[in-house]
Amino acid sequence: DQAYFRIVADDGYKVPMEEILAKVDANRIKKNLATVSVARHHKDEKGRKNLVMIRSLIENTFQDAGYKTRRQIVPFGGWTGENILGRKAGLTNERSNYVVMADFDSVESREMSIVNSNGIVGVLEVMSVLGEYQFKKTLLGAGFDLIYPDHMGANFIIWKDGGMPKDEQIEAGFFLDGIASDTYRSADLPDEYKPKMSADWVRKDFDGTFMMAFVNNRSVSLLDNFRKQAALYSPETRLADRVVSRYGEEAYQSQAGAHAPFWYRDLKAIYVTTWMAIRHLKPNRKWSYPEAALKMSSIKTMSETIKTVIASVVEEAEILHCDIFEAPLKDDSEMRAAVK
C-alpha cells in the first residue's frame, strides 16, 4: 500500500456546541423514520426485500456524510445479514473508535418494527451532523443486522473477522433504541429497575420529553458525560439513569440491546432509550407503516435525545477545527513547501 504523510493544522478554535446541534434536522428525521418504518425482517420475501432497501439507505447516508463505508457479512441460522459500517478516521488517534449504533432489522410485529426503527434513524441523524467535522479519534456509525437471536450483528463486529481491525480499539459504544416516546407510564418500568430508581420514576406518570440511560459500572464515565451534556443542551428533558453491575445480570432487561456484547467484552457502552419507545397511543390498523410511525413517535423526544448523544460524542472523540494536507511519502516536496 502507498504510504502517506499528513499535516493537521489545528487553529485551536472551539466550535460552539450550539452551532453543531442546530444542524439536527427534524424534517430529515421524519423522512428517514417514514422510510425505515416498514416490515424489515428475514422471515419472508417482503421483509427481506425491504432489508435490501434499508441497508442501501444506511450506506448511502454514511457515504453522503463523508464516511468510508463497508459491509460485514453476518451469517447465522440459515440467514445472511449484513452490518453496515461508516468510518471517519481520527486525525491524531485513529485507532481509538467511538461507535454510534443501532439495530436496523426487526421482528415481524408491526408495532415492534416501529419501536426499533427510531434507533437507526437516530444513528443516521447523529452521523449526518457529525460528518461535517473532524475529530482526534475515529467515529464509526454502525447499523446492525440480525437483531434476533441475541443481537448477532453487534456480536459479529466485536468477535468475528471483518468487524473491528485487530490493531484498533473500541473506546465506547452509544446504543440507540426506542428513543421516541413522550408518554411515561411507571407501570411499564420493569420491577428489577425500581429499587435503584428515584421515587418520581417509580410511582409517577407524566407526559413530555424524557430520556433513559443505562450503563454498567465500567461505563460510568459515559453516563457522567451524558448527564452533563443533557443538563447543558437539553435542560427541559427529564433524564433517568441506572448503573448496573458487571454485565447487567441484576437487571436483565438492561442487556436487551446491541450494547450488551460490548459489556461482555469489557468495553464501555451506554444504552440510550425511552424504554416505552413509542407513545401510549393505540395504533389504528388502517394506518400505513409510515403513518403509524409518525403518529406514534415523538420527533421532539428524538431530536432532544439525538442532540444529547451528539454532544456526548463530540466531547469524547474531541472535535478539531483544522485544515488537512496529505501527500504520498515518496515525494516530500509538497510537504517541504507546506512547512515553509
- The CA angle 35-157-260, to the nearest 5 degrees, is 85
Whether pTM exceeds 0.85: yes
Measured CA to CA, the distance from residue 182 to residue 165 in angstroms comes to 39
The pLDDT score that the predictor gives to residue 248 is 77
CA angle 45, 52, 107 (to 5 degrees): 60
Q: Which of 233, 253, 274, 117 is nearest to 190 (CA)?
A: 253
Three cell numbers written together for 101: 449504533
Does residue 113 contact residue 148 with C-beta atoms inside 8 Å? no
Rounded distance between C-alpha atoms, residue 5 and residue 253, angstroms: 47
Residue 6, helix vs strand vs coil: strand
The crossing angle, in degrees rounded to 10, of helices 299-317 and 117-130 is 50
User: What pLDDT sits at residue 332?
Assistant: 56
> Is 136 within 8 Å of 90 (Cβ atoms)?
yes
Cα–Cα dist 268/114, whole Å: 27
Picking from 67, 118, 112, 106, the residue whose alpha carbon sits closest to that of residue 301 is 118
- For residue 135, the cross-strand partners are 319
User: Which regions of the chain does DSSP assign to beta strands (E)?
Assistant: 4-10, 68-76, 79-88, 93-103, 134-135, 137-144, 169-176, 183-184, 206-207, 210-216, 238-244, 269-273, 319-320, 322-328
Give me the tens of pLDDT residue by residue for the chain, a chain 340 residues long: 555 556 666 677 799 999 999 999 999 999 999 999 888 888 888 889 999 999 999 999 999 999 999 999 999 888 899 999 999 999 999 999 999 999 998 866 666 677 778 999 999 999 999 999 999 999 999 999 998 878 899 999 998 777 888 889 999 999 999 999 999 988 888 888 777 788 889 889 999 999 999 999 999 999 999 999 999 999 999 999 989 888 877 777 778 889 999 999 999 999 999 876 667 766 677 888 788 888 889 999 999 999 999 999 999 999 998 666 666 766 555 555 555 5
State the Cα–Cα distance between residues 291 and 12, nearest whole angstrom: 46
pLDDT at res. 191: 82
Phi/psi of residue 210, nearest 5 degrees: -155, 165
Which residues does 203 contact at the CB level (< 8 Å), separation at least 6?
186
Tell me the C-alpha distance between 114 and 50, whole Å: 14
How far is it, in rounded angstroms, from Cα 339 to Cα 4?
A: 16
Contact 98, 331 (CB under 8 A): no
Which pLDDT belongs to residue 324? Answer: 67
